């Protein structure tokens, strides 16, 4: 097969961007790309991430629709129509073999424009609850790739749906245990729980962890507590120095290259975003999810429930989170190797370690059709 010319678009949050980047990385590893172009917005997170990766990057001006009928939606519609015009020019100049959208309103214009110009199109939905953009695009694209089987109920055209998993999973599955825990102030080879509220941190999770420090101090496992950059100073002011200087507790603002340490983690406590779940289940790590209640359609709760129902995780609603409950749930798992083993097995059973290759097969089948 000839190498592909590929346009990829997704933005707004890392949950849309990282699967796109993982797909591009895998296509390059397999030497399947002639050229690749990422289409995003200048203000979006994708601008920083894609540029740092050294990929070709073009921008369109577009914004999301408001959920209520407002005058502002007229401006949004005007932006959408003009962004379709620019997207058609991008497609004409780049001449892609296929266009892939991974979510976020930025992907709507380029994918719709590709459809109108009869270029094969695919969207990828990472969550159990589909985003507004993907629901809209589902009527026009050739294929709908999903990361959770439960998401198929979100789309009316079932014949288009293909279960692939999340490409991010394949990016982490090859990582082996290493000695990075030593670099983080902990010991290698000791059972470790990581508490992490996401790159920005999460105050309720941080507060519960801080108030449980005295209980963690004398346990026979280690605690890696990542506060998030914005919360680090405030968090460390609340923590007694004896915990900060403890041999089995490490408190850090953030960790670069987070996936590298995951094979040495025995339990993860944190949010239930699609990217996190893809990584966790690919590696078969037991988890305790505390979903963010502030995301669209409460999709993190639905994500967490799906994994918990399979026995791979426990879920604590943020409204019910206390330091006592957090410690008790962590202790039950960390002090019971049989429970951890069962959860790990269940996690691997729902993980999709070849997700990127599955999605690539969808692309190549369409191009070769």
Q: Return all residues near 116 (Cβ < 8 A) that are at least 6 apart.
A: 84, 88
Strand partners, 88: none
Among residues 277, 354, 282, which one has the least CA distance to residue 30?
354
Q: Annotation-wise, does 15 bind a ligand?
A: yes
Q: Annotation-wise, does 84 bind a ligand?
A: no
Q: Annotation-wise, does 13 bind a ligand?
A: yes
Q: Annotation-wise, does 127 bind a ligand?
A: yes
Q: Report the alpha-carbon distance of residue 228 to residue 226 in Å, rounded.
A: 6
The number of beta carbons lying within 10 Å of the beta carbon of residue 172 is: 21
Distances (CA, A) of 80 to 16, 105, 275, 330: 19, 9, 28, 47
Q: Annotation-wise, does 185 bind a ligand?
A: no
Q: Return all residues near 47 (Cβ < 8 A) that are at least 6 apart.
A: 40, 41, 57, 59
Q: Are 264 and 188 in contact (CB under 8 A)?
A: yes
Burial status of residue 162 (CB atoms within 10 A of its CB: 0-12, 13-18, 19 or more): middle
Residue with tokens 């289940």: 281
Q: Annotation-wise, does 300 bind a ligand?
A: yes
Q: Annotation-wise, does 284 bind a ligand?
A: no
* Degrees, nearest 5: CA angle 140-11-171: 100
Both tokens of residue 178?
A: 């290493």
Which residue ranges are tagged as binding site for UDP-N-acetyl-alpha-D-glucosamine?
13-15, 127, 199, 255, 300
Which residue ranges are tagged as binding site?
13-15, 127, 199, 255, 300
């Amino acid at each position: 097969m000839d190498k592909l010319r590929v346009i990829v678009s997704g933005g707004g949050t890392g949950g849309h961007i990282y699967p796109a980047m993982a797909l591009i990385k895998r296509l390059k590893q397999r030497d399947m790309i002639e050229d690749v172009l990422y289409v995003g917005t200048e203000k979006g997170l994708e601008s920083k991430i894609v540029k740092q990766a050294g990929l070709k990057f073009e921008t369109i001006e577009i914004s999301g629709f408001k959920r209520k009928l407002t005058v502002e939606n007229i401006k949004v519609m005007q932006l959408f129509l003009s962004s379709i015009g620019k997207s058609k020019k991008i497609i004409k100049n780049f001449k892609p073999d296929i266009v892939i959208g991974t979510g976020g309103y930025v992907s709507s214009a380029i994918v719709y424009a590709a459809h109108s110009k009869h270029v094969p199109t695919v969207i990828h939905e990472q969550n159990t609850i589909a985003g507004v953009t993907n629901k809209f695009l589902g009527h026009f694209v050739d294929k709908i790739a999903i990361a959770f089987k439960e998401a198929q109920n979100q789309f009316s055209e079932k014949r288009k749906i293909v279960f692939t998993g999340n490409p991010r999973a394949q990016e982490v599955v090859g990582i082996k245990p290493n000695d990075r825990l030593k670099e983080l102030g902990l010991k290698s080879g000791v059972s470790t729980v990581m508490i992490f509220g996401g790159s920005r941190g999460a105050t309720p999770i941080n507060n519960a962890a801080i108030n449980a420090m005295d209980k963690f101090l004398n346990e026979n496992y280690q605690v890696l507590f990542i506060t998030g950059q914005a919360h680090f100073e405030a968090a460390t002011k609340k923590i007694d120095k004896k915990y900060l200087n403890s041999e089995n507790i490490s408190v850090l603002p953030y960790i670069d290259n987070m996936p590298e340490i995951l094979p040495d983690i025995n339990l993860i406590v944190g949010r239930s975003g699609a990217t996190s779940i893809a990584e966790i289940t690919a590696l078969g790590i037991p988890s305790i999810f505390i979903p963010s209640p502030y995301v669209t359609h409460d999709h993190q709760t639905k994500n967490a429930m799906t994994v918990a129902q399979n026995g791979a995780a426990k879920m604590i609603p943020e409204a019910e989170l206390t330091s006592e409950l957090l410690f008790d749930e962590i202790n039950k798992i960390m002090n019971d190797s049989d429970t951890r083993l069962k959860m790990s097995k269940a996690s691997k059973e729902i993980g999709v370690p070849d997700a990127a290759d599955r999605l690539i097969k969808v692309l190549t089948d369409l191009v070769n059709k």
